[in-house]
Chains A and B, each alone.
Chain A
Amino acid sequence: MEILSDEGGRRHVRSVYRAMLTARVLENKLGSLYKAGKIVGGVYLGKGQEAVSASLATCLEKGRDVFAPLIRDQAGRTAFGEDLLDCTRTYLGSVDGPMRGRDGNIHRGRPAEGMPAMISHLGASISLVSGMLLAKRLKGTLDGVVGATCIGDGCTSTGSFHEGLNTAAVEKLPLVLTVANNQYAYSTPNVHQFACERLVDKAVGYGVRGHQVDGTDMLACVEVMYEAVERARAGEGPQLVVAEMLRLTGHGEHDDAFYVDAAIKQSGVGRDCLEVGRKQMVDGGFAGGDEIDTWQEEAAQTVQQALAQAQKERSPDPYQDDWQAYATHLSTYYNQD
């Protein structure tokens, strides 16, 4: 496919891998900070899912497209161009972060800039992104725009998933819905989550195009995501992408994932997409090993700087906060309460 061969394609692949690498460096650091008790709230990592997340978001353009990440999409956030400070500030509880201490960590977002802030309720972002696309259609600014959101295998069991995908299909919205099938939803294995053989077959039922990919194979992810996003952009309607991999951490850093089957770890889905990606980068001549090592050092420095900056910032002050949940003049009534 051209995406892998021409100069633009090569730059694209390099961006994908670099975002994966930066996310891994950042998340390793966040993991240590969590263990050191320095994080406000929980830490949920995307280790093992960087390829699918970064290859999706690298196809998107900040300022034009919509990207609604989920808990394991740090790589996608980075690829979409989210400022690292947004991340470190929310994890360390700085009032200067996008959520001002009112919500934390993976829930951060800048909806006015095309990145909705996630709520915990799984599946809620699917229709939300559809609504953002629908509003653009009404304004006449939808042409060439894509909205993407990410869910896990567990989320495919929710009513929101069914309602959201069906509604997007009915409205033929340019929605790319990515499922990271990491074999477990928290501790629940797929056998207790769904009874169909392949999640991607659900696409048929909703009348949308389905794509299946090995989420541990970076180049495969790059190709499949590129195709899915381009099809949505071209007006072909919602695209369902299902990527198979294993979550290489616990559900959160509080979870040691004792329940993960040893045989699965040894199998193909247990591969680390970052290691696979590095080999593909070098073997395919996308970047040399030395260059990748330099990227890694640069990532470590950027992460360190962002953490240092967030660390010296103020945490929210209950006496300074206006505690305002209303945008309009109605807020004055509440101040009297």
Chain B
Amino acid sequence: MSEVTYIDAIHAALDKAMADDPGVFLYGQDIGTFGGAFKATKGLVGKYPGRVLDAPISEDAMAGVAIGAAIEGARPVLEMQFADFSSVAFNQIVNQAATHYYRTGVPVPLTVRLPSGGTPGSGPFHSQSMESIYAHYPGLVVVTPATVADAYSMLLESIELDDPVVFCEHKFLYRWLKSENFDGDALPIGKARITRPGKHATVVAYSAMVHEAVRAAEILHAEGGWEIEVVDLRSVKPLDTDTVVASVARTGRLLVVGEAFPWGGVTAEVVSRVSADGFHLLDAPPVRLNARDTPIPYHPKLWSSHRPTPESIVHELLKLLNY
């Protein structure tokens, strides 16, 4: 196999899920003949006639339709054109899908794909990371694959799960991230991975920030011989506290990096859990690094200093290492 990208992995997982299970269908804007805004569904409408449906621009109704179909035993995969527009479907996702199994005992095997995160020049409405918001709600599973292999295996697992999954796929990784194939050590949803072992500090990250964290670890290794452990959360709900705390037990220092806004959220959750469960393991106060607390800027110069970068991660890590 030649090189495959993160978006290839998503396409291949959709293809396999549809081939394996006739109950799987795709619903979203421009996903049929056009193949989706990012071409994740390209060619699938011809391969699976009647199972790749173009939706009107009605995120609330799209989610409602997908939830109704899931209740009825189908396995819908809903594509939001951009994660940002899922705010229009928020009610259906957090009130209808999330509560349904607890209330009625009838599961909602729905996968909502959210093209998430920032790319240069995208601005405030095509760059948002919504994982913290959805993770707040009981009943939803929220996953954030950072590798080509994870994008493939986690999307397949999401579609197989009987619970509603918010699948946060990163737009920057779509074509930037390349791999030999889709194979990896396919961990289940709910398990974090040690992406890079180390002993001086732990960086917990997820989605595109894993790659920024690895870059920062490489810089610190080259410049100071530091060995930074990088933990990829993979799924933010469930959150694998055990793996994170075990890493902090090895390193004694914790930095949590997220691309989402700083107030509350996944990074705060990780810091809070480690503070509660592993306070005695910490040699320095745990730190988190997020995007700035402003809407996401348009110009690449502003944007690249809005979100965490290898340089800003290195900066925080040096403070942590020298505490």
Contacts and interface: CB of A to CB of B under 8 A. Distances in A.
A230 B152 CA distance: 46
Interface stretch (B7-15, B55-63, B315-323): B55-63
B103 interface: yes
Contacts of B64: 124-128, 130-131, 160, 163-164
Interface of A, secondary structure class, is: helix
A262 to B, nearest CB: 37
A166 B58 CA distance: 9
B65 A99 contact: no
B171 to A, nearest CB: 25
Given A166-B56, A334-B238, A134 B65 contact: yes
Contacts of A111: 71, 100, 104, 106
Find the residue from B66, B72, B88 having the highest chain A CB count within 10 A.
Answer: B72
A154 interface: no
A328 B238 CA distance: 12
Contact of A330 (B76, B96, B104, B163): B163
Interface residues of A, number: 46
A40 to B, nearest CB: 15
Contacts of B4: none
B56 A117 contact: no
Contact of A128 (B71, B101, B240): B71
Nearest to A324: B102
Given A138-B51, A160-B60, A117 B104 contact: yes
Contacts of A107: 103
B61 to A, nearest CB: 4
A133 to B, nearest CB: 8
Interface residues on B, range: 35 or more
Interface string A96-132: 0011101100010111100011011100111111111
A167 interface: yes
Contact of A138 (B74, B98, B105): B74
A138 B25 contact: yes
Given A119-B96, A131-B69, A132-B71, A326 B104 contact: no
A139 interface: yes
Contact of A109 (B25, B62, B104): B104
B71 A116 contact: yes
Given A102-B103, A160-B64, A167-B58, A330 B69 contact: no
Contacts of B106: 111-112
B70 interface: yes
20 contacts: A103-B104, A107-B103, A121-B95, A124-B91, A124-B92, A125-B64, A127-B60, A127-B63, A128-B96, A130-B61, A131-B72, A135-B69, A138-B74, A162-B58, A163-B58, A163-B61, A164-B60, A326-B163, A327-B162, A330-B189
Interface of B: 23, 25, 50-51, 55-56, 58-74, 76, 88, 91-92, 95-96, 98-107, 138-139, 141, 161-163, 189-190, 238, 240
Given A131-B69, A159-B88, A166-B58, 5 more contacts: A110-B104, A131-B68, A134-B65, A170-B56, A328-B162
